[in-house]
Each structure stands twice: as structure tokens, then as C-alpha cells.
């Protein structure tokens, strides 16, 4: 099994070395790491090259969707069996990766999502945000016909077929939840597994409590559009 | 010839002339000019022939014919902005693909160079 860890990174020079060290301590030579530098203005690209991981340098900022898609394209070209999406900000924990890989190795599903919320009380979040997440999960679960607790989680693993699909078609605006809808439409099987995540070490979440309602409405609209979209 | 008619005709004629000149200088691709040319021509014809304008506007139930011209112009603008949105969407998709392709090629090239210098 050849596994590629894809780390989309936009101005992550502070946290990136620690993230890569964390992964290497757990998997040393067995796992390849690809940093997709999404047009960072800091030293993200140089730092990644210095520690000897593969680096895709996008000529300008495409956003997380376009960056991840470039990573999937790399995984498809180099015929990896599994691609893992792993955040560059230190939120995700490398020792949780095997839990993500197992269902794909067993071939029970095509895509695995690491969820913070499957284990009760593991992750602290504001009341407002939890409520938003709950409504959102409810609607998305209805659409997908399966329970989804952490649709915005960027900690996930995809098998070869999903990698091929994503390298052709990957959403740009709110890629994490939207990708689930597209996969569902294309008939792929998905599963959530419980993982723990760290509180963010550097940077702030792009979603503040006040904006979350507005954000949710936009994501729901995007999902409705995905539902009527033609899947290639 | 009343003033309104003169104004409308001059306006449509200017649109046509500017569009043709832009095509001639290569600043506007024919593909995107067709809509403008069509709209300019239709507006010119309708503003030149009061009879035709009155006939059509009465037929669709508009009793002040010049407002039919405004309606047409408005619909045309709506159409062309929609057309632009489609064109821009296509361009940004192509732009994204180019950026990804470039990043993949650069990476491949770097790997090749690294291998060659090691040998």
C-alpha cells in the first residue's frame, strides 16, 4: 500500500516543521509527504523543501479546494493507493492516521473522514457553534443518507478511485462538506471514524461565531447546487 | 424626424461603430462581439423605423413605444452580463487547471534535476 499524505499549506511556515516531524516520527520512511504550497507569501515552500518532503508550488493562491485538487492530481499521476488530507496548522494528530487508513485497506469504504464529534465531549466548542454544527450535520446526514457529525473536518483519507474522481472534479468554495455530496452522487461509500484533534496552535479558524450562520447558509446553498450538478 | 428618434439612432450607431472598430483593432474577439453587434443592429433598426417599433410594442401591449426600446436595451444588458458570467467561470476553471498543471510540472522538473545532479 502506497500512502501519500497531502498537506495543503497557505502561510504555514510556523507550524509546518512540527507537523512534518510529527508524521515522520510515526511513519518514518513508509509514508510520502506532499506539501501543496498554495501561493504562500512566507517561507512555507522553502521550509518544506529543506526538510525534504515533496512540494507543489502553486503560482498563486487557489484556495483550499484548488490546492487539494492539485495534491490529488499528484497522487493520481504517481499511482498512490491512498491519499490522506492532513492540515498544516497542527490541528491533526499523526498517530490517528492508521485509524483513517484501516477501513480503506479493508476495502469496506472509499473515503474515511476523521470526526472530532464521534467521541462525546472530546472537543470543546462554543454553544453557538455547536448548534450550527448540529443543524448542519442533520441536513447533510439526510442528504447523504448516513450520519455525518464532522462534515468540515479536513482530516480524511481517500482510496484510488476517489483520488481519480477528485483530480477531475473537486469543489472550490466549501470543499470539505461539498466533496461529500459529490462523492455521494457519484456512488462512493464513506465512513466517519472518531479521532481526537488538537486545539489550533497557530492562526485562527476562518469561522467566527457571529459569521457562522451566514457561513452555514452559504454552504447549504452550495450543497443544493452540488445536488443538481452533473457528476462527471 | 423627432429628437428622440435622432438620439436613439445616434446611440445605436455609436455602439455599432465602436464595436466594429474594436474588432478591427483586435481588441474584441468576434465570439464576444456577436451579441453586441446583434443588439446594436436591432436597436438601430427599431429606432430608425417608428412604424415597426410601434407595431411590435403595441403587439406586446406596451403603449409608449420608446419604452419598448428601453426594455430591449435592459434585456440585452441582462443577457450580456449572464454571458460574461459564463465566460468568466470558464476562464477561472482554465486558470485553475493551468496553475495546477504548472505546479505539477515544476515538481517533476525539480525531481529530474535532483536525480541528475546526484548521478
**Whole-angstrom distance, CA of residue A197 vs CA of residue A96:** 9
Q: Are A33 and A19 in contact (CB under 8 A)?
A: no
Q: Over pLDDT 90: what percentage of chain A?
A: 68
A208/chain B closest Cα distance in angstroms: 28
Q: What one-character DSSP code corresponds to residue B52?
A: H
B26/chain A closest Cα distance in angstroms: 29
Give pLDDT, residue A123.
57
Closest residue, chain A, to B95 (C-alpha): A62
Q: What one-character DSSP code corresponds to residue A35?
A: E
Which tops the pLDDT comparison, A195 or A135? A195
* H-assigned helices in chain A: 16-27, 44-50, 64-77, 97-105, 127-144, 160-168, 175-185, 212-228
- Give the length of chain A: 232
What's the pTM value of the predicted model, to 2 decimals?
Answer: 0.86
Nearest residue, CB atoms, A55 vs list B99, B102, B107: B107
Taking CB atoms and an 8 Å cutoff, what residues of chain A touch B99?
58-60, 62, 66, 70
Name residues 28-67 of chain A within 8 A of B (Cβ).
36, 54-60, 62, 66
- B interface test, pick of A46, A58, A229 with most B CB neighbours within 10 Å: A58
Q: What is the ipTM metric for this complex?
A: 0.86
The contacts of residue B2 (CB under 8 Å, 6+ apart) are none
- pLDDT tens across B28-82, in order? 888 888 888 888 898 889 888 888 988 999 999 999 988 888 898 899 899 989 9
pLDDT band at A230 (very low <50, low <70, confident <90, very high): confident
Partner-chain contact B107 A77, CB within 8 Å: no
Query: Which sign does the torsion angle of CA B68, B69, B70, B74 carry?
Result: positive
**Whole-angstrom distance, CA of residue A37 vs CA of residue A53:** 12
Closest residue, chain A, to B101 (C-alpha): A70
Residue A114, beta-bridge partner list: A193
Nearest residue, CB atoms, B102 vs list A36, A59, A74: A59
Partner-chain contact A57 B103, CB within 8 Å: yes
Three-class secondary structure of residue A118 per DSSP = coil
Partner-chain contact B100 A62, CB within 8 Å: yes
pLDDT band at A39 (very low <50, low <70, confident <90, very high): very high
Instruction: Please give the full DSSP string across B43-109, using - where no structure is assigned.
Output: HHHHHH-HHHHHHHHHHTT-SSHHHHHHHHHHHHHHHHHHHHHHHHHHHHHHHHHHHHHHHHHHHHH
Three-class secondary structure of residue A32 per DSSP = strand
- First vs last C-alpha separation in chain B: 86
**Whole-angstrom distance, CA of residue A30 vs CA of residue A51:** 16
Please check the confidence at residue A66 and state whether its pLDDT lies above 70: yes
- A interface test, pick of B95, B100, B101 with most A CB neighbours within 10 Å: B100
Amino acid at each position: 500500500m502506497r500512502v501519500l499524505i497531502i498537506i495543503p499549506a497557505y502561510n504555514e511556515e510556523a507550524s509546518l516543521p512540527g507537523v512534518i516531524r510529527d508524521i515522520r516520527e510515526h511513519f518514518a520512511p513508509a509514508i510520502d509527504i506532499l506539501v501543496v504550497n498554495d501561493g504562500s507569501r512566507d517561507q512555507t515552500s522553502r521550509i518544506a523543501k529543506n526538510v525534504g518532503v515533496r512540494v507543489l508550488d502553486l503560482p498563486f493562491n487557489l484556495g483550499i479546494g484548488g490546492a487539494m485538487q492539485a495534491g490529488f492530481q499528484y497522487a493520481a499521476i504517481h499511482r498512490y493507493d491512498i491519499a490522506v488530507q492532513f492540515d498544516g496548522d497542527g490541528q491533526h494528530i499523526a498517530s490517528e492516521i492508521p485509524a483513517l487508513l484501516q477501513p480503506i485497506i479493508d476495502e469496506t469504504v472509499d473515503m474515511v473522514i476523521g470526526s472530532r464529534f464521534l467521541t462525546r465531549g472530546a472537543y470543546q466548542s462554543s454553544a453557538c457553534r455547536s448548534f450550527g454544527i448540529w443543524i448542519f450535520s442533520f441536513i447533510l446526514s439526510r442528504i447523504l443518507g448516513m450520519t455525518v457529525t464532522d462534515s468540515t473536518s479536513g482530516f480524511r483519507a481517500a482510496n484510488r478511485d476517489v483520488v481519480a474522481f477528485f483530480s477531475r472534479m473537486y469543489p472550490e468554495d466549501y470543499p470539505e462538506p461539498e466533496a461529500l455530496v459529490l462523492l455521494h452522487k457519484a456512488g462512493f461509500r464513506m465512513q466517519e471514524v472518531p479521532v481526537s484533534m488538537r486545539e489550533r496552535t497557530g492562526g485562527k479558524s476562518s469561522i467566527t461565531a457571529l459569521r457562522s450562520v451566514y457561513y452555514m447558509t452559504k454552504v447549504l446553498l452550495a450543497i443544493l447546487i452540488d445536488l443538481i450538478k452533473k457528476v462527471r | 424626424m423627432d429628437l428622440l428618434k435622432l438620439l436613439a439612432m445616434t446611440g445605436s450607431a455609436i455602439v455599432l461603430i465602436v464595436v466594429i472598430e474594436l474588432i478591427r483593432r483586435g481588441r474584441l474577439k468576434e465570439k464576444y462581439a456577436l451579441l453586441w453587434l446583434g443588439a446594436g443592429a436591432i436597436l438601430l433598426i427599431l429606432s430608425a423605423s417608428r412604424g415597426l417599433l410601434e407595431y411590435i410594442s403595441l403587439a406586446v401591449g406596451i403603449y409608449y413605444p420608446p419604452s419598448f426600446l428601453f426594455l430591449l436595451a435592459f434585456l440585452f444588458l441582462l443577457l450580456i452580463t449572464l454571458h460574461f458570467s459564463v465566460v468568466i467561470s470558464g476562464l477561472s476553471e482554465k486558470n485553475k487547471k493551468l496553475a495546477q498543471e504548472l505546479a505539477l510540472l515544476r515538481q517533476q522538473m525539480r525531481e529530474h534535476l535532483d536525480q541528475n545532479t546526484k548521478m
